[in-house]
Amino acid sequence: MSAAGPAGLRRPLLPRRLRGPVLLLSGALLASGCGSGAPDDPAARSGAPGYPRTVRDCGHEVRVTAPPRRAVSLNQGTTEILLSLGLADRMAGTATWTDPVMKGLEKANAGVPRLADDTPSFETVLDAEPDFVAASFASTLGTGGVATREQFTRLGVPAYLSPSDCAGKDNSGDGDGVRDKTLTMDTVYGEVRDLARLFGVEQRGEKLVDDLKARVDRATSGIDASGVTLMYWFANSASPYLAGCCGAPGVITRAVGAHNAMDDTHEEWPQAGWETVADRDPDVLVLGDLTRDSQTAETAAKKIEFLESDPVTRNMTAVREKRYVLLSGQAMNPTIRTVEGVEQVAAALREFGLAR
């Protein structure tokens, strides 16, 4: 989901007033050469070979004049891509986390400053003196979030938004957006390649994409879960956020050949009543196991406790049979960890005896 999660669900975001201190900070950033590399970076002064480079992103051109040296990632999804590309030493900060960092990236992540566990202020980001900003969600890099990409660009800071949150998606409403086109992993792979190109590590990007594709192939080889219905619950026990047809959970569902019980809506994370959930009675419940604390029933344990005690849900097939699949919030968002979601759901379906 978006700024609060996807990892997250979009929680109400107050408009952020850009006060006088921001103007002072922006002047300091421009004086220090923000947007063209650190002042003592010879590549920034003389022009790095192969630069400038430009990628087309969400209807905008993102142009860098040298490999970024002080990147700030505003969401966990973009952070884990940059860390997976071996770019921890070129990162000046990260923010907006819903889960522990992806396995294998703990050491790299420990060396990158955490600007905020949630959405940071514009001032906090500018204090890190970024020369590049990346975000997973328009709710983070946009009106009502940290700042718009235009605000960063005016300060000489190129800003990149994950194409998975804009390609075939309308974010103009109050929720987490509506998709008119079905998301595929190719969009996520394209993001990896974009970032690798901007940072000048294209070979690392291709290797990461190849590894991710190979993992999906291994996880889904020979699987057939046709006739099996899944339902994805991200958060909130009062009015649950459930996955619609066409986001990252749709990628997972199609990969295993199953059916999403909520695939009649194109909303990314619509809220529904528990009577609707019980009426649709999925064979398997895929539960977000989040470590943040901004909604009710964040952890999988809290979700299961609710499901097994509530009179409306406790007699559902998946609850009676205890067919739960626990996923990180990042695996339920369009990120490289969606592959992790494919692996875990495929393994669980086989374990439950529901996949041939």
DSSP string, 175-231: SS-EESS---HHHHHHHHHHHHHHHT-HHHHHHHHHHHHHHHHHHHTT---TT-EEE
pLDDT tens, position by position, 277-313: 999 999 999 999 998 777 778 899 999 999 999 999 9
pLDDT at 1: 64
Nearest to 263 by CA among 253, 255, 275: 253
8 vs 225, which has greater pLDDT? 225
- For the entire predicted model, the pTM comes to 0.87
* Topology at the third CATH level for domain 20-213: Rossmann fold (3.40.50)
Name residue 260's beta-bridge partners.
230
Q: Quick check: 173 pLDDT over 60?
A: yes
pLDDT tens digits, one per residue of 64-109: 999 999 999 999 999 999 999 999 999 999 999 989 999 999 999 9
Chain-wide mean pLDDT for the chain? 89
Nearest CA-CA partner of 265 in 173, 140, 135: 173
Q: Is the pLDDT of residue 34 over 70?
A: no
- The label of the residue with tokens 């997972």 reads 252
> What residues does each domain of the chain span?
20-213, 222-352
Nearest to 262 by CA among 283, 239, 243, 290: 243
CB atoms within 10 A of CB 41: 17
> CATH topology for 222-352?
Rossmann fold (3.40.50)
